[in-house]
Amino acid sequence: MQDKVAALEKENELLKERLEKYQQKKKTNLKKKKWFFKIGVSLLTGKKLKTSIYNSLQEFNEQKKISLQTTSDLAASIIKRLTRIGVFALLFAVLPTTLMLYQNSLLKKQNKKIQDQTHLAEASRRSAQMFIMGDVLSDINTELNSKSNRRLSHTLVGRIVSLSRAMKPYKYLKEGQLIPNEISPERGQLLITLCKSKIEPSFFVDRILQESDFRKSELNFANLDNAVLRDVNLKGADFSNSSLINADARRSNLQKVNFSGSDLEDANLSNANLSEANLTGSILLHTNFKQANLENIIIENAIVHRADWLSYIKNDLKLKGAEDLYNMYKVDSVFSVVLKKKMPTIVKQ
């Protein structure tokens, strides 16, 4: 019996110790909560605002009214505290937005670099086709020298057509910057070589040009005088600053072609689709535009051979797009640096 009592007393002591520890822990937690609450209130209200509220209440309890000075101090403290809280709130609101914008900027730069690397890899792959073109051109030279009719074999024609289709346009670095639009320098080089190979014209047009793909060919600063370019798809090609004197481009697709600064004197562009082409600063002396499509072309500062050129293409030739050109431009006599004399030049009205 005594042993049971002793055990109960010992157990009672243990329970008392646990209870004291629990109560002590509870007091400690309560003190912490009060401290955090006090800090929070201090941050929100501030010491000065707290003092102003205390002074206002004490003055009201003692005098049953609050003086103007005390009211002013309280109002000033409230405004100051609200302003401070507003600044912090603004900072907390702006910070995530700033970080997000910075992150987006980094992502855009990274995406641009990835895109540039992709284009450069494509340019490297395309340049490998130059070796294939070298073999094709060598075979062209061999066959033309062995044949008096200046025609090529079916096999070689097929290789030329396939090569033109494989030489896809791409972007490449120029002066350290990626060019804005895709273009194919290889197609341009292939076309220039073919034009200068003196292949029999009708065979060249019917068997090679009509079946090949020369869209977006890079042909700027090229000499293509007297070149045969009939019935060929040259949409989006770049002929800027090139010489195409007496060139034959009848019935060709010249849509969106860049002819800026080019010499098209005596060139034959009859029945050609020149819609959206750029003829800025080009030389159009006696250029044949019969039945050509001139819709939405840019023709500012182009040199023509007659002062009534705009009314001539509108009323006599009745070309598509001529009405808009007549209303947008006029012909004026301007000194030409290239021709070194005053020439009828198309300028905006």
Q: Does a structural domain hold residue 343?
A: yes
Q: What is the pLDDT of residues 275-312, one digit of tens each?
A: 999 999 999 999 999 999 999 999 999 999 999 999 99
Please, which pLDDT band fits residue 35 given cuts at 50, 70 and 90?
Answer: low
Residues 182 and 233 in one domain: no
Last residue of a domain, one of 180, 211, 242: 211
Residues 111 and 142 in one domain: no
Residues 120 and 136 in one domain: no
Q: What is the mean pLDDT of residues 305-327?
A: 97
More confident site: 188 or 86: 188
Q: What is the pLDDT of residues 179-220, one digit of tens each?
A: 899 999 999 999 999 999 999 999 999 999 999 999 999 999
Q: Does a structural domain hold residue 35?
A: no
Q: Does a structural domain hold residue 30?
A: no
Residues 172 and 205 in one domain: yes
Last residue of a domain, one of 172, 187, 211: 211
Whether 331 has a pLDDT exceeding 50, the answer reads yes
Q: What is the mean pLDDT of residues 97-117?
A: 67
Under the phi-then-psi rule, with left for phi > 0, alpha for psi from -120 to 50, and beta for the rest, what region is 114?
A: alpha
Q: What is the mean pLDDT of residues 70-84?
A: 64
State the total domains in the chain: 3
Q: What is the mean pLDDT of residues 143-151?
A: 93
More confident site: 16 or 141: 141
pTM (predicted TM-score): 0.67
Lowest mean pLDDT among 59-73, 290-304, 318-332: 59-73
Percentage with pLDDT > 70 across the chain = 70
Residues 116 and 141 in one domain: no
Please, which pLDDT band fits residue 132 given cuts at 50, 70 and 90?
Answer: confident
What secondary structure, in 3-state letters, does the chain show? CHHHHHHHHHHHHHHHHHHHHHHHHHHHHHHHHHHHHHHHHHHHHCHHHHHHHHHHHHHHHHHCCCCHHHHHHHHHHHHHHHHHHHHHHHHHHHHHHHHHHHHHHHHHHHHHHHHHHHHHHHHHHHHCHHHHHHHHHHHHHHHHHHCCCCCCCHHHHHHHHHHHHHCCCECCEECCEECCCCEEHHHHHHHHHHHCCCCCHHHHHHHHHCCCCCCCEECCCCECCCCECCCCECCCCECCCCECCCCECCCCECCCCECCCCECCCCECCCCECCCCECCCCEECCCECCCCECCCCECCCCEECCCCHHHHHHHHCCCECHHHHHHHEEEEEEEECCCCEEEEEEEEC
Q: What is the pLDDT of residues 245-257, one digit of tens each?
A: 999 999 999 999 9
Whether 25 has a pLDDT exceeding 70, the answer reads yes
Residues 174 and 223 in one domain: no
Q: Does a structural domain hold residue 317?
A: yes
Please, which pLDDT band fits residue 172 given cuts at 50, 70 and 90?
Answer: confident
Dist. CA 321–CA 307, nearest whole Å: 19
Q: Does a structural domain hold residue 41?
A: no
Q: What is the mean pLDDT of residues 172-180?
A: 83
Residues 307 and 226 in one domain: yes
The CA distances from residue 36 to 43, 147, 251, in Å, are 10, 101, 86
Whether 87 has a pLDDT exceeding 60, the answer reads no
Name residue 293's beta-bridge partners. Answer: 273, 320
- Residue of 334, 304, 338, 335 whose CA lies nearest to 322: 304
Lowest mean pLDDT among 26-35, 118-127, 135-144, 200-209: 118-127
Residues 101 and 156 in one domain: no
Residues 193 and 234 in one domain: no
Last residue of a domain, one of 211, 239, 267: 211
Q: Does a structural domain hold residue 83?
A: yes
Q: Does a structural domain hold residue 227?
A: yes
Q: What is the pLDDT of residues 257-273, one digit of tens each?
A: 999 999 999 999 999 99
pLDDT at 176: 78
More confident site: 124 or 173: 173
Residues 119 and 97 in one domain: yes
Residues 60 and 139 in one domain: no
Q: Does a structural domain hold residue 29?
A: no
Domain of 107 in residue numbering reads as: 46-126
Residues 235 and 198 in one domain: no
Please, which pLDDT band fits residue 90 given cuts at 50, 70 and 90?
Answer: very low
